[in-house]
Structure 1
Amino acid sequence: MFARTLRLAPALLKTRTLTTTSRMSAPYQVIATDKAPAAIGPYVQAVSYNGLIYSSGAIPLDPQSMEVVPGGIEAQATQVFKNISGLLAASGITAAQVLKTTCFLKDMNDFVAFNKIYAEFFGETKPARSCVEVARLPKDVLVEIEFIAVSKQ
């Protein structure tokens, strides 16, 4: 069990104190932005803790309409990276600070096309990565990506 206390911080960041039975108590910030889709479940877009930023899985939803973008893997991957860019900007960092991504593809046959979009987004700053095929993703999208990044602080 753990208790959370909410304290508002600047901009769209919220600071919470996490307390567990193991006597761990440290502040973490909830990262929220309208430049990425709102959570579609009981989770937040991302959190910052101890100099690291952990994102929830980003799927290809348009942040305003909350609808899946039409098109194949290229269109959906492009939207996911737009959403990730919004989260990175809200965190005050860029793609260069991303340390690790975990990518979930509905069909591994999309791997080559996905890699092209992925490489364009990260350029020369390639993070560590895992990429797996999964049976199904939320809203039946083709791709979902989560990341861990280092904060500039």
Structure 2
Amino acid sequence: MEFVQAPGLPPPAGHYSQAVVTRGGMVYVSGVLPARDLADNAFDAQCASVFAQCEQVLRAAGCGLDDVVQCTAYLAGVEHWPAFNTVYAGMFGDHRPARAVVPVPALHYGFLVEVQLVAERANG
């Protein structure tokens, strides 16, 4: 296995990797929260931060958003679902990974969104 740390992003605060790449080329991106200074920002800004960080982690793992096969998003409240759909569609365009959106009562540090991805890296 390969453990991924994206340049320019702070290392995880806990005992986990930003992403893990299997020998077969599957990339598992840990849950990504917005940048710490965005806790009080609007939902759209938090989503943009999350997906920008996801892209950095995917690039460090040798792939990109077009390689994502599955996305799990946790939203602090079902009322954010329409806004999430808009941001998500803008990020992925015509690419349509499998997806689960899970409304939750709260997320760490008061954030409104967390995203976890699975991607497949070409050439293992």
Fold shared, TM-score > 0.5 on shorter chain: yes
**Which secondary structure state, in structure 1, belongs to the residue aligned with residue 21 of structure 2?**
strand
Specify the alignment match of 1:24 in structure 2: none
Residue 60 in structure 1 maps to residue 34 in structure 2: yes
CA offset digits 1:63-106 (Å, max 9, x no partner): xxx43354211000000000001011111211110000000000
Specify the alignment match of 2:63 in structure 1: 93
Specify the alignment match of 1:120 in structure 2: 90
Q: Contact 2:75–2:103 (CA<8 Å) still a contact in 1?
A: yes
Q: Please give the alpha-carbon distance, in whole angstroms, between the structure 1 residues aligned to 2:116 and 2:99.
A: 10
List structure 1 runs of 4+ shifted beyond 6 angstroms. Answer: none
Per chain length, whose mean CA-contact separation is higher, i.e. which structure has more relative contact order (CA < 8 Å, sep 6+)?
Answer: 2
Report the aligned-residue RMSD.
1.3
Shift of 1:34: 2.9
Aligned-partner residue type, residue 15 of structure 2: P
**Number of corresponding residues:** 122
Q: Which runs of 5+ in 2 are unaligned?
A: none
Q: Contact 1:69–1:79 (CA<8 Å) still a contact in 2?
A: no
Q: Please give the alpha-carbon distance, in whole angstroms, between the structure 2 residues aligned to 1:37 and 1:147.
A: 18
Specify the alignment match of 1:51 in structure 2: 25
Q: Contact 2:39–2:111 (CA<8 Å) still a contact in 1?
A: no
Specify the alignment match of 1:3 in structure 2: none
Q: Which runs of 5+ in 1 are unaligned?
A: 1-27
CA offset digits 1:1-30 (Å, max 9, x no partner): xxxxxxxxxxxxxxxxxxxxxxxxxxx000
Q: Please give the alpha-carbon distance, in whole angstroms, between the structure 1 residues aligned to 2:66 and 2:8.
A: 19
Q: Contact 2:39–2:110 (CA<8 Å) still a contact in 1?
A: no
Aligned-partner residue type, residue 106 of structure 1: A
Q: Contact 1:35–1:87 (CA<8 Å) still a contact in 2?
A: no
Specify the alignment match of 2:44 in structure 1: 74
Q: Which structure has the greater CA radius of gyration? A: 1
Aligned-partner residue type, residue 121 of structure 1: M
Using the TM superposition, name which of 33-42 and 118-127 deviates more: 33-42
**Which secondary structure state, in structure 2, belongs to the residue aligned with residue 77 of structure 1?**
helix
